[in-house]
Amino acid sequence: MSGIRPPLDLLIAAPRGFCAGVDRAIRIVELAIEKYGAPVYVRHEIVHNKFVVDTLKAQGAIFVDELDQVPDDVPVVFSAHGVPKAVPAKAAERGLEYLDATCPLVSKVHRQAERLVSAGRHILFIGHAGHPEVIGTFGQVPEGAMTLVEDVEGAESVSPPDPTNLAFLTQTTLSVDDTAATLAVLKRRFPDILAPGPDDICYATSNRQGAVKAIAEQCDFMLVIGAPNSSNSLRLVEVAERSGKPARLVQRAADLDFAWLEGARTVGVTAGASAPEVLVRELVTRIAERYEVTEREVETVAEKVVFKLPRGLEAA
């Protein structure tokens, strides 16, 4: 067989895969199981990745959609995407021990929202309706204090209560380019809109999109490992397509259709922030079944971010 495998160059984007917030969230669940014993309940998928969720289930995590499904006297973990304030309040009311695995960069947006609203500003929030992170951020402030803006069209049509007293915030996992375009419209329509600080799009989202841009021009096709409900993974597919290259999202190596690669000489591979490196290796191994693979990692920036664990878990 080996003699007839066609050659294929694989460009592996770096950074890719797990970010510091995802690493921390998964570790919180693992340490909670060590500390309290199984089962430990987790409200919502801890991160948007089936492989990660299934691995934690095997260790003793039970995933539920709502707090009502958590029995009394067992610990519960809140997912990396963040939760509305009402959720920890309800957990405390029931006397549940809870651990908050919200990514610190999402928590930062939560605190900004509170500060802006208490200063009397109305917030235009750039994000995707129904995403857990958006639901969590809206749940930090009184109803009506924020308006969701999903895209450029939404930015053109939004009519806030007091156009002279606005601020904006954004979901952390958006497309850098899309957000810039949406923001440009808001700034044109509302010149006094307050930018609360540096961009809220997280370092990992920006870095992974930058890494895809850096290799896309050299590739004939891009493969992105990630879940269909993972915002940052879907954005990586869009970034590749905007660079003029066909791209596909795959959850596992088994999802690869070799027909996609026909005629390709160079294929780019990356992974969303909630996809573990083991899935990248699995995909490369599967491609190597049919191709004589030459692999090269292209690093655009080195990531050294680490987030501290919650107090009481470091010792576990």
User: Tens digit of pLDDT per residue, the chain (316 long)?
Assistant: 446 899 999 999 999 999 999 999 999 999 999 999 999 999 999 999 999 999 999 999 999 999 999 999 899 999 999 999 999 999 999 999 999 999 999 999 999 999 999 999 999 999 999 999 999 999 999 999 999 999 999 999 999 999 999 999 999 999 999 999 999 999 999 999 998 777 788 999 999 999 999 999 999 999 999 999 999 999 999 999 999 999 999 999 999 999 999 999 999 999 999 999 999 999 999 999 999 999 999 999 999 999 999 887 865 5
pLDDT recorded at residue 196? 75
193-228: per-residue pLDDT in tens?
998 777 788 999 999 999 999 999 999 999 999 999
Report how far residue 276's alpha carbon sits from residue 92's, in angstroms, rounded to the nearest whole number. Answer: 33
Structure tokens at 206: 């920006």
**DSSP assignment, residue 222?**
E
The pLDDT of residue 315? 58
Give me the helices (H) in the chain, please.
Answer: 20-36, 50-59, 86-93, 104-118, 132-138, 152-157, 176-189, 203-216, 231-242, 277-287
CATH code that applies to domain 2-18+203-299: 3.40.1010.20
Domain boundaries, the chain: 2-18+203-299, 20-103, 107-189
| Tens digits of residue pLDDT in 89-138 | 999 999 999 999 999 999 999 999 999 999 999 999 999 999 999 999 99
Same fold, 2-18+203-299 and 107-189: yes
Q: Do 32 and 99 meet the contact criterion of CB atoms below 8 Å apart? A: yes
Catalytic residues: 133
What is the structure's pLDDT at 152? 97
| Cα Dmax for the chain | 70
- Per the CB < 8 A criterion, the answer to whether 253 and 282 are in contact is yes
- We find that the CATH architecture of domain 107-189 is 3-Layer(aba) Sandwich (3.40)
DSSP output for 67-78: GGGSPTTS-EEE
pLDDT of res. 1? 46
State the CATH architecture for 20-103.
3-Layer(aba) Sandwich (3.40)
Q: Decide: 41 and 32 in contact? Cβ < 8 Å.
A: no
